């Protein structure tokens, strides 16, 4: 079975910047923020894809499959909300 994605999972890329041996190391928290932001966007993209295919399944009278795809989209959004909670826990709250 083939699994096609419309986006690139590769994180390694060359920006052709010249830093002259200056290396900026991110803190663990900064890395976590970047990862969580990425995972949230990634999940949102997938949830949209699942919902789109649910619509197509319904149009082709495949209601049981459509229901399961809609459920998968809801589950994916629920996972994103956990990532958002983790992100909020990493971001210092400013007093109001």
Every domain of the chain and the residues it spans: 28-90
Main-chain dihedrals φ then ψ at residue 81, nearest 5 degrees: -65, -30
- What distance in Å separates the CA atoms of residue 69 and residue 18, rounded to the nearest whole number? 46
Q: What is the pLDDT of residue 88?
A: 94
Cα 24 to its chain centre, rounded Å, is 25
CA angle at 73 for the pair 63 and 44, rounded to the nearest 5°: 145
Work out the burial of residue 73: count CB atoms within 10 Å of its CB; fewer than 13 is exposed, 13-18 middle, 19 or more buried: buried
pTM here is 0.68
Quickly state the pLDDT bin for 26 (edges 50, 70, 90): confident
Over residues 57-72, the pLDDT tens digits come to 999 999 999 999 999 9
């Amino acid at each position: 079975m083939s699994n096609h994605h419309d986006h690139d999972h590769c994180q390694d890329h060359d920006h052709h910047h010249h830093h002259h041996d200056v290396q900026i190391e991110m803190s663990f928290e900064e890395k976590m923020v970047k990862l969580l932001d990425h995972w949230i966007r990634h999940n949102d993209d997938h949830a949209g894809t699942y919902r789109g295919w649910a619509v197509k399944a319904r149009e082709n009278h495949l209601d049981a499959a459509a229901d399961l795809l809609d459920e998968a989209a809801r589950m994916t959004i629920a996972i994103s909300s956990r990532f958002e909670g983790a992100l909020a826990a990493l971001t210092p709250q400013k007093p109001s």
